[in-house]
Amino acid sequence: MQTIVLGSGSPLPDPSRAGPATLVRTTAGDLLFDCGRGVLMRAAAVGASAGALAALFLTHLHSDHITDLNDIVTSRWVTSFQPSPLSVFGPAGTASVVTAVEAMLELDIGYRLAHHDDLDWRPSTDVVECERGTVFTGADVRVTAAPTDHAPVRPTVGFRVDDGSASVVVAGDTVPCAGLDELCSGADMLVHTVIRRDLIEPLGLARLTDVLDYHSSVEDAARTAARNGVGTLVLTHLVPAPPPGTETEWEALAREHFDGTVVVADDLVTLEVGAAT
């Protein structure tokens, strides 16, 4: 199994970091977790595509994590040569968001149906709203969901992918919580969104400091990984984005609490799950 961080960025546009998105390559196919801005551009760089996704998983419905949902829906539709419903798994509210995206695309759908004689079906999705338990199986793969804590964003979920003996958890935005611990127990890898409290707090600007109470700091993520015996901690959704050359500061903060492997993600970083990094 392989984990590829397609987008390591945050809500703030960054020329070097696409929006939050993690691709997990499994024996059951490509599984995509969240779909922030630029996701399909980054996917193309590793030979992935909307049409080839086995499933899409949404950790929550904050705009930066679903910005390019419309691009995935459209691209899958127009590059397929027979109906190919997109399987989408996410928290309560996901179905209404997908319905709204399809409604937004209605004019475009009409244009394409009118122009392409061989395209005589509409885009379609199979949405499963989930909170806890096994949500997807295929080959040797099992994907499990559990509730996380990103209040007042409710509900939110994290996901664990088990493929044979290898396991990776994609946390999404959350503070430390029991549901995340449940997913992380004994996992080979944890992909965790993080912020730098020490850099944000001194700014004193409410719009920025407000993010502190519903995101994990680097230290929080490291403690979660250590507490649950995780092998590799991948830091992503980095807020604020580290200027080049300062990534070691983030790694050092994590190492104060976690003695496993720490990876400060850049876009397209590719990691073997369960293997030495």
Instruction: Confirm if 22 and 3 have CB atoms less than 8 A apart.
Output: yes
DSSP state, 72? H
Residue 188 designated active-site: no
Per annotation, catalytic residue among 64, 162, 163, 220: 64
Instruction: Confirm if 17 and 42 have CB atoms less than 8 A apart.
Output: no
Cα dihedral value 222, 59, 4, 48, nearest 10: 180
Helix%, strand%, coil% for the chain, nearest 5: 30, 35, 35
Pairing label, strands 29-33, 232-239: unpaired
Going by C-alpha positions, the residue among 149, 161, 154, 170 that lies closest to residue 237 is 170
Helical spans, DSSP H, in 116-147? none
Strand partners, 166: 163
Instruction: Confirm if 158 and 59 have CB atoms less than 8 A apart.
Output: yes
Catalytic site positions: 64
